[in-house]
Chains A and B, each alone.
Chain A
Amino acid sequence: MAASRLKQQLDDMDVKVDRQHPLFVYLPCGVGGGPGGVAFGLKTIFKDNVHCFFAEPTHSPCMLLGQITEKHDEIAVQDFGIDNRTAADGLAVGRPSRFVGKTLEGLISGDYTVDDDKLFILLSRLADTEKIWLEPSALAGVYGPVSMLKSEAGQNYLADHGVEAARLANTTHIAWATGGSMVPDEVMADYYRRGVHLKK
């Protein structure tokens, strides 16, 4: 549903999605149900022209480890000595969904991790530049294009999937925000101050 309505929104904005105009979507991921459902819907609509990536905190990379090892819910981040402590509330999940990891194993393009401090910095910058206030988890998606473009693995992915420079210029990136509007003002102000402080 989210996907078919997104297609309508993109059409209304004259944003094309086809082989020459690829779509990259960055979805913050906890146990995997929400982003998995959205990614699946997107693939059924945009097929090979959409590339979906999951985003996780560096301290809770459960879906990433589940997919790399292909052990899904048989492993938890704690098994690898990772503490699962993150300020990104809904993403603080130690063990991923097997259903999502296994079902989507051929449809998800990849996964990346983001440091908590960066989430707060991006939170404050988004508030300053766009006047949009998100919860820390939501910023994991916003880092997606940088994570992909800056890394060798990301560059290799682009080359492997025919997204060379010319097509990259036609790309649409969508960061999927998880939440934020219910966060009380004083809590959001704390998040913001933390981001500003870390940026220094």
Chain B
Amino acid sequence: MLFWQDPQFGDRMITLMAALVLVLQITMVAQRWLVTNIRAFAIQSFLLACIANTIAYYNGATHIYIAAALTLMFKAILLPVILQRLVSRIEIRQEIEPFVNVPLSVIISGFLTLLAYVVAEPLQTQAALPGVAGLGRNTLPVAIALFLIGFFMMINRRKAVTQVLALLSLENGLFLAAISLTYGMPLIVELGIFFDVLVAAMILAILVYRIRETFDSMDVSRLSRLKG
């Protein structure tokens, strides 16, 4: 047996990639530069695709390959390219001011991770399975952490573009949870969520452009001026 065929090796690789995914999420919280944020998101999605691939490889589950390929295509390549073009078109490069300052947000993210662990712990012990079937099960806390931190980022950011990014990373968390718990939802549901998010991202992108045209700013808090 070659060493990469050993499920233990696969487990290590998945664990490692999951940790990197989490680190990238926190990097996104800490980074002010939009372009870096988008790239971090791209790498994160790429790693997710890799995790899905690994699980698919060891379990021989074909439909996860499809989900992984879709993730790679849309979230790791297409969306980042679109967002990057959007950013260069509206000529902003920096998230000026999040509501909570960076060190504190980073530390809050740390706490959210801890919370995710507490929430996931009972689920994890219940679902402990031996061998290949248990592969990737331990990424559940990471998935929940991605979700929570993504949510926090949506609350914390002012710019619509960064909110889109936060939403996307939140969805990454859902995806990870899905593959870690059930080896993927039924393909059709997966596709549904996928295109839902994609379309949402597109609409938001257009909206962002419009908001800027109208208000000369992307600050979402200014939308409150719309009410009569």
Query: Do A and B actually bind?
Result: no
Q: Which residues of A contact B (CB under 8 A)?
A: none
